[in-house]
Amino acid sequence: MDQLEMKKLAAQAALQYVKADTIVGVGSGSTVNCFIEALGSMKNQIKGAVAASKASEELLRQQGIEVFSANEVSALDIYVDGADEINPQKMMIKGGGAALTREKIVAALAKKFICIVDTSKQVDVLGSTFPLPVEVIPMARSQVGRKLVALGGAPEYREGVVTDNGNVILDVHNFKILNPVEMEKELNNVAGVVTNGIFALRSADVVIVGTPEGAKIID
């Protein structure tokens, strides 16, 4: 079974958490694209969705699902998103698609965060296989880069990428994130950082892993 098939298994399994007459929070990325496609089968049962990226908004509309802005809702029943890495404590690194800030905003609205991944995303320590994305105000790029170096990281400017918020991304290599909560707080306090890709303060409530044997739910 290839990676895409495992992503589809996880995405399909997430539908069981979608309740009728609710607005669904939807993240971004390749696994979420599979979920949006599956969610199309429920378009007449739900009210609509709040999306964490413009790309996801477009895919939702293609499925005939009404898109709401985060400002139009006070809370969401669930938020479904993928991860670039996830540890056994359900904490994640996200931001490979440069939508990390909006993903944190929509996740914060949700009563339940459901993370859908394939087996390749599971790690014991965050930062093991994937650099940490940090969204930065453009004028602060060099300043933030120096701070990240001082913390032991090796930041790399993601060339040609501008976030939906008009900012830039620094991908930080060489971070082994042993205390994700403290690291998330510390990086977010650096002047010029919009947010970083550690999702520890708001970790997942449910993880659905697509495996060759089927979808495994970690609740």
First-to-last C-alpha distance (Å) of the chain: 24
Residues 145 and 207 in one domain: no
Instruction: Express each pLDDT in 18-34 by its tens digit.
Output: 999 999 999 999 999 99
* 151 assigned to some structural domain: yes
* Contact criterion met (CB below 8 Å) for 76 and 23: yes
* 165 assigned to some structural domain: yes
The verdict on whether residue 95 carries a ligand-binding annotation is yes
Domain that holds residue 175: 132-197
The verdict on whether residue 127 carries a ligand-binding annotation is no
Instruction: Express each pLDDT in 158-183 by its tens digit.
Output: 999 999 999 999 999 999 899 999 99
Instruction: Express each pLDDT in 51-61 by its tens digit.
Output: 999 999 999 99
The verdict on whether residue 171 carries a ligand-binding annotation is no
Residues 77 and 142 in one domain: no
103 is catalytic: yes
In the chain, % of residues over pLDDT 70: 100
Residues 98 and 18 in one domain: yes
* 127 assigned to some structural domain: no
* Contact criterion met (CB below 8 Å) for 112 and 17: yes
Residues 91 and 152 in one domain: no
Residues 182 and 210 in one domain: no
pLDDT at 1: 81
The verdict on whether residue 83 carries a ligand-binding annotation is yes
Q: State the Rg of the chain over Cα.
A: 17
**Distance between CA atoms of residues 32 and 10, nearest Å:** 10
Q: What is the CATH number of the domain that holds 56?
A: 3.40.50.1360
**196 pairs with which residues across the strands?**
134
Both tokens assigned to 207: 């993880």
Residues 23 and 83 in one domain: yes
Of the residues 85, 103, 135, 184, only one is catalytic, namely 103
Q: Which amino acid does the sequence have at 162?
A: V
Mean pLDDT of 177-202: 98
Residues 168 and 206 in one domain: no
Q: What is the CATH number of the domain that holds 155?
A: 3.30.70.260
